[in-house]
Structure 1
Amino acid sequence: MEQFIIPLDYGTLRVVWWALMGALLIGFAVMDGFDLGVAALLPVVARTDAERRVVINVVGPVWEGNQVWLITAGGAIFAAWPLLYAASFSGLYLAMLLLLVALIIRPAGFKYRSKFEGTRWRARWDMLLCASGVIASLVFGVAMGNILQGVPFGADPATLRPVYEGSFFALFNPFALLAGVLSVAMLVTHGAVLLAWRTEGPVAARARQWARGGAVLTALLFALGGVWIASGIDGYSITSAIVTDGASNPAAKTVAVSAGAWMQNYERWPLAWAAPALGVGMALLTALLVSVRRNVLAFVASALAISGIILTVGLSMFPFIMPSTLDPRASLTVWDASSSHLTLWIMLLVTLIFLPIVTAYTSWVYRVMRGKVTEHTVGDTPNSY
């Protein structure tokens, strides 16, 4: 009966949801990433209160919809990958709390900044908005850096409940900080490209300078991270038979840890090199396009660079989604950390119905909000920030 109701086998559905999880992360990084980048740039691209209002109103009407990508990704992880959700959201609790505080500050800054016209009041909120963008971007990158290195967690053999034994400050190790700075550079570039596109005058000129520098820095840091992973970061590989359609049980496998193991997938699938090439190439192309003021193409190139960087992480680690340094056998993979066959199928049907609707609505909103944001348009709009 199950085979009749669910035409896709369990192993295929797991890979489909691994790909969908990656798509949601890319969607969040591209859509909400420029909000974080714009917030981080606020004090440096806008020097007067009028200019800062312009910058805030570029993202003010759309940031709430963009953040839905993060909420959707968290919900999808909870439903499709419950073991991953439990291990990451509970084990990395303090880092998640820091991220949550940063994300809470942003809407508060948008809403409260304009309540009073005092210079000191607005300057404080501007700095908090900047801090929220930098901290959130940094924490996202640090999290990815730690996942690539492995996270110190194990699993209770009876209940499979994840047990985390790491510390908050250990998360900020050298490689994770490199990944964090890369994340900041990547999202600042994305935000700067948007400002160069959607604003005019001095704000656009300063944003263009930040976009050029940020794009080149993104390419350099990404390449440096790749060399570091290939030569100095231990990777993981499954050494036992892989059961793609069995019940989720991370302990039912053996795992080897060795230097350079994260490069094995590029030997198996040479086409996977397209992902890191996309990350480096599109970042450098962003710098070129923004210099010649091809702003729309620069924004597309920046989005593709972000996609290439995130895809590189996913393809390098596949099938692992959260490796364990404490007990490599407890590492979570695509094959042993998912929900049931029926759950994944129902979620896929819901996604196929509602994702096109959400995408169409989002496209319509951006079409309505198209055009330059200037001091004149901000002044003429009574509900502007």
Structure 2
Amino acid sequence: MFDYETIRVIWWLFIGVVGIAFALTEGFDFGVGTLLPFVGRNDIERRVIINTVGATWEGNQVWLILLGGAIFAIWPAVYATLFSGLYAAMLLVLFSLFFRPAGFDYRGKIEDPRWRNTWDWCLFLGGSLPPVLLGVLVGNLILGLPFHLDQDLRAFYDGSFRALLSPFALLCGVTGLLLTTFHGALFLKWRSEGVIHDRAVLAVEALGPMLLLALAAATLWVFVGIERPEITQMAANDAPSNPLNKTVIGNGAGWFGHFMAHAWMWLAPVAGFAGLALAWWLGKGESRMGAFMFSSLGIAGIALTVGFGLFPFLLISATDPRSSLTLWDASSSHSTMLLAFWITVVFLPIVLLYTRWVYKIIWGSVTEASVLKDTHTLY
């Protein structure tokens, strides 16, 4: 039904959608966790905050697992290079996520202030560390990773963990933290009442300018100060995968030139900045759903900006541009991608419908009265 070239593009779009879904849903989970010790001043307030995401945080986290599994199945060369070369960094992300299930499940086991306060700070770490680390990862994807392929297509990582912590990557990490915290504050505002609602509004007011400033700095750095490789010759887009069957120069037109050559791509950064600016403006007022929706638009715009800017690259090699992996030369076989496509077409709509049903059932403001009334099923 689909030729090899088309199914590769379809899967690039599919995995992009999964990545955006993870950023949108797990993003407000991370943000709520980051805000927990500061917006909640006592145990009952913190229980209210926790229960705004208590029914959905596990399901939202599955998007990350789905993203990793999809990359493994569709772009095995990307999975092998990324997860082996950045093994220590990936383990650090995984370990930071461990704080979340432990914090949610153990916090309420003992009615002791010290016990619960300890787990509150664990939830804070589980909400703040992953977006920083994932932001650093995105920064390094933009800069390029130090790896090369030999003639047998074996990937060799040439860098160190310390090299990942460049100034630009750290700026991306800070931007990631501000982004999820801002998104979480808007979600918390939408689902809370009283003093928690008011403190969430104050958080939105404070975080909005910092986020826009950090995002503007990172965007300017990318478009002005970061080189982008350019493919000068490659095999046909429907050819079997072989990353070394192309010629690449390290200094191409750059990100700005890439976007100028495809003017429609400018819609992504415009949506990113406009969405977040409107979310901040509306979030300071009475708007709940509107502010959160614009924040979601902003996050989607940022993700699309990165995806469009890298296209057709998936992993850029900073040490050997020819070894860079693209969606044309790092994919699985045609039959594998077709089989995975039909599995996705069947099951992804079911997942989305179920997710929509879950949010419809649990939706509404979480209040102190509702938490005190339901002591058996709520955190």
TM-score normalized with structure 1 length: 0.96
- For residue 250 of structure 2, give the secondary structure of its aligned residue in structure 1: strand
CA distance in 1, matches of 2:181, 2:151: 43
Q: Give unpaired runs (5+ residues) of structure 2.
A: none
Give CA deviations for 1:316-351 in whole Å, capped at 9, x if unaligned: 111001000121110001111110111111111111
Deviation at 1:81, TM superposition (A): 0.5
Q: 1:218 and 2:211 equivalent?
A: yes
Q: 1:209 and 2:193 equivalent?
A: no
Opposite residue 295 of structure 1, the aligned amino acid is: R
CA distance in 1, matches of 2:171, 2:252: 19
The aligned counterpart of 2:97 is: 103
Identity of aligned residues (%): 47
Map 1:1-385; keep pairs closer than 5 Å.
Answer: 7-158=1-152, 160-258=153-251, 261-381=254-374, 382-385=376-379
CA distance in 2, matches of 1:153, 1:56: 41
CA contact (8 A) 1:222 1:309 kept: no
Deviation at 1:10, TM superposition (A): 0.7
Deviation at 1:265, TM superposition (A): 2.8
CA distance in 2, matches of 1:144, 1:13: 25
CA distance in 1, matches of 2:79, 2:71: 6
CA contact (8 A) 1:236 1:262 kept: no
Give CA deviations for 1:208-254 in whole Å, capped at 9, x if unaligned: 12123323322222221121112211111101145201111111111
CA distance in 2, matches of 1:259, 1:212: 40
Which deviates the most, 241-250 or 102-111?
241-250
CA contact (8 A) 2:230 2:253 kept: no
- For residue 314 of structure 2, give the secondary structure of its aligned residue in structure 1: strand
Which deviates the most, 217-226 or 81-90?
217-226
Q: Give unpaired runs (5+ residues) of structure 1.
A: 1-6
CA distance in 1, matches of 2:124, 2:235: 46
RMSD (Å) for aligned C-alpha atoms: 1.1
CA distance in 2, matches of 1:219, 1:260: 26
CA contact (8 A) 1:198 1:372 kept: yes
CA 1:10–1:340: 2 relative to 1, 3 Å: same
CA 1:150–1:67: 2 relative to 1, 3 Å: same
- For residue 331 of structure 2, give the secondary structure of its aligned residue in structure 1: coil
